[in-house]
Structure 1
Amino acid sequence: MNQYGNTAQNEIYQGKVRPSISFRFEEMERLAREKLEDGPFYYVAGGAGGEETMRANRHALESWQIVPRMLRNTENRDLSVTLLGETFPSPLMLAPIGVQSIVHPDGELASARAAASMNVPFIASSASTFSLEEIAAVMGDATRWFQLYWSREPEIAASMIKRAESAGYSAIVVTLDAPMMAWRESDLENTYLPFLWGEGVGNYVKDPAFRSMLKDPPEKDKKAAAALWARVFGNAALTWEDLGFLREHTSLPILLKGILHPEDAQLAIEHGIDGIIVSNHGGRQVDGAIGALDTLPLISQVVNGRIPILFDSGIRRGADVVKALALGASAILLGRPYMYGLTLAGEQGVKDVIRNVLADLDLTLALSGQTSVSELNRSLLINVRDSQWQKEKTHNLRE
């Protein structure tokens, strides 16, 4: 992806490319608000409680600032990264987001097609409206991972893992921070939970283990299927010792999503996990939690390169990606921006979001005096909340 950003913006300036969406995240969010009803919009845009964690995510990203270097010959750049033995052209992935049909009828199928066409891995959610097999079918040979919400019924979890393997998914992402849904004030005010109306349960109603627990098939008795989903979704009784169950049912790499504490990162390594994703679920689960980026340096120090660290929560633009990579992430999961692209322009909207973030990333990399995302490190950044850094640098310069 050498000079990706230069090419992309030149095509736009010259009128060769007509964007389907705004370049500004804030404008996309505003337009999505105009297009969607209250329930779907706030289900995507909202967070837990008073949304302190959502604000903390952005505050953390804004507190770390890039200090560009000059005369470094950044004519040629390399955005590629290697994860779990596979090389990808960029560090960008599409985060697992469920029930995408609430913002566009093509839902996950449109996002998956967009990811495949842009050569960006797609992480399919357990809570998708379309089944994991349907998603795989529109992606061809493109890289896809499967995100597992570990069901209260182990047979369902094992069945979904088996299906993912059969459908060509190359890793399992286990979300840990949502064993139950958080107190989300907007969703409660709108009495909006799409799963109860049959949205976002595609993987369940197509699952043989799930279907075997119903008296009648879901097609015949949707109410009973919804009730069963509500009973089996999530599992708050899980412990670290339960991770062995996953190893018994798959040989695929396993990543744990929702890690925020350095001790949990260490425990993941001790339990043979292949990677972790530093995330607070985009502020949707624990109100008042730490901003995800604020914990990334501590986790990176503990992990010390032994397993890959991925990151999400609050990513909006290319500069955000640079900051997270510099603080120890190997790759970045993009969430709400592509959901707004999907809302406004379907598959093309998701493609344009991916292109814009990658172009911004490439140009920010070059203008910061860097040539490779895999070589980014903390020396590129300062934290404006840390006055001691500034004092030390000023002292060293005077010497």
Structure 2
Amino acid sequence: MTIVNGYEQSDNEKKLDILNLPSLEAEAKKIIPAGGFGYIVGGSEDEWTLAENTKAFSHAQIVPKVLSNIEQPDLSTSIFGIALKTPVMMAPTAAQGLAHSQGEKDTARGVAAVGGLMAQSTYSSTSIADTAAAGEGAPQFFQLYMSKDWTFNESLLDEAKKAGAKAILLTSDATVDGYREEDIVNNFQFPIPMANLTKFSEGDGKGKGIGEIYASAAQKISEDDVRRIAAYTDLPVIVKGVQSPEDALRAIGAGAAGIYVSNHGGRQLNGGPASFDVLPAIAKAVNHQVPIIFDSGVRRGSHVFKALAAGADLVAIGRPAIYGLALGGALGVQSVFEQLDHELTITMQLAGTRTIEDVKHAPLTHFNYAD
């Protein structure tokens, strides 16, 4: 155990014997301090959208396909020419030092071990350069929470590009923080500095609540910002937080090289739709013009399959990987991804799909079961 400013961080480094990803939450709760756990697990308001994110996967069913003459499904795929061994990627998740002393560095190591893609957050516990170095050349994206101070944005983008980031994720759905009651009940303030903030005038994040952190973030984000970031970095810009076909097309019109369908894991606008429920319409509107990344509520290999079949090109996870980080460090993160890949492989076999491209063309049926 490592103690920083009175906050107890896990030092666990071990492979995990995982039954399923949902079971990890209760185990992680035992070792992550209450304030940190509440920040990680919590959604906004009464958490209706948070719950709907996972429930929504029951709105579509996979059609089994027999006599398909396949074995050993292949999970490899690519995005922007980047070869990946799995379609499951790490979502940009803030303040991973709340779960483990190595934070994003161990997450990067675990994701690299499975041949996956890591996305790191502006509000990381470790620096862009250190997180990239921990991945030892494995592909990474950088997620930008735009600041009101463009010089600050440029500094982050410069460091991300220098560290070898392959794309920029522009978070567009967090111009203010959602009303997160777990943080209010716990009177939560970040006990650990955020490395990317310590170097600049915005402070280090330590001793602040999430509302104070967001106060320095840009509340006005437009198509012009997509163009500006793309021109400044000469990297693909993916707009994160898209929940409607109209916004997807607006982003593409502004030069977005990708669309990231997400409701921030139910942490922002409560009462909005589950991400999976809006994915098909967005995919239809995008019509393969640019890649689509999807997250929110993914807990099973069958969820990954359904998201890919509904129009996603990559599927991201957040909380389950953070629980794996707390329980086992880099090896724990690796274990989480391996479990999800294992379940996905079984689903692909039973659905008669050999490749990820086959999955993208697999039929889904829809029957809305009564609650």
Q: Same fold (TM over 0.5)?
A: yes
Q: State whether residues 44 and 270 of structure 2, in contact with CA within 8 Å, keep that contact through their aligned partners in structure 1.
A: yes
How many residues are treated as equivalent by the alignment? 357
**Match for residue 252 of structure 2?**
269
CA distance in 2, matches of 1:286, 1:94: 22
CA distance in 1, matches of 2:167, 2:362: 32
| Aligned-partner residue type, residue 160 of structure 1 | L
- Structure (1 or 2) with the greater helix fraction: 1
2:120 equivalent among 120, 124, 147? 124
2:196 equivalent among 203, 210, 222? 203
Deviation of residue 170 (structure 1)? 0.9
Deviation of residue 379 (structure 1)? 4.9
CA distance in 1, matches of 2:327, 2:26: 11
Find out whether 1:297 has 2:290 as its counterpart: no
SS in 2 for 1:124: strand
Which consecutive segments of 4 or more residues in structure 1 shift more than 3 A?
229-233
CA distance in 2, matches of 1:360, 1:103: 25
Structure 1 pair 312/354, CA: closer, same or farther in 2 (3 Å)?
A: same
Q: Deviations over 1:314-356 (max 9, x none)?
A: 0011100000000000011111111110111111110100111
**Match for residue 372 of structure 1?**
355
1:91 equivalent among 80, 87, 102? 87
**Match for residue 322 of structure 1?**
305
**Match for residue 3 of structure 1?**
none
SS in 1 for 2:241: strand
The structure with the largest alpha-carbon Rg is: 1
Q: State whether residues 189 and 206 of structure 2, in contact with CA within 8 Å, keep that contact through their aligned partners in structure 1.
A: no
**Match for residue 33 of structure 1?**
29
**Match for residue 340 of structure 1?**
323
- Identity over aligned pairs, percent: 35
Find out whether 1:115 has 2:115 as its counterpart: no
Deviation of residue 149 (structure 1)? 0.5
CA distance in 1, matches of 2:46, 2:209: 29
Q: State whether residues 98 and 192 of structure 2, in contact with CA within 8 Å, keep that contact through their aligned partners in structure 1.
A: no
Using structure 2 for the length normalisation, give the TM-score. 0.91
**Match for residue 64 of structure 2?**
68
Q: State whether residues 149 and 233 of structure 1, in contact with CA within 8 Å, keep that contact through their aligned partners in structure 2.
A: no
Could you list the runs of 5+ residues in structure 2 that have no partner in the other structure?
1-13
**Match for residue 173 of structure 2?**
177
Mean CA deviation greater in 263-272 or 368-377: 368-377
Deviation of residue 93 (structure 1)? 0.7
Q: Deviations over 1:255-308 (max 9, x none)?
A: 011000110001111111100110000001111110000000000110001000
Deviation of residue 36 (structure 1)? 2.3
| Aligned-partner residue type, residue 48 of structure 2 | E
Using structure 1 for the length normalisation, give the TM-score. 0.84
Structure 1 pair 283/222, CA: closer, same or farther in 2 (3 Å)?
A: closer
Deviation of residue 231 (structure 1)? 7.2
Q: Deviations over 1:7-37 (max 9, x none)?
A: xxxxxxxxxxx95243222321111122222
Q: State whether residues 198 and 226 of structure 1, in contact with CA within 8 Å, keep that contact through their aligned partners in structure 2.
A: no
SS in 1 for 2:61: strand
Deviation of residue 87 (structure 1)? 2.5
Mean CA deviation greater in 116-125 or 303-312: 116-125
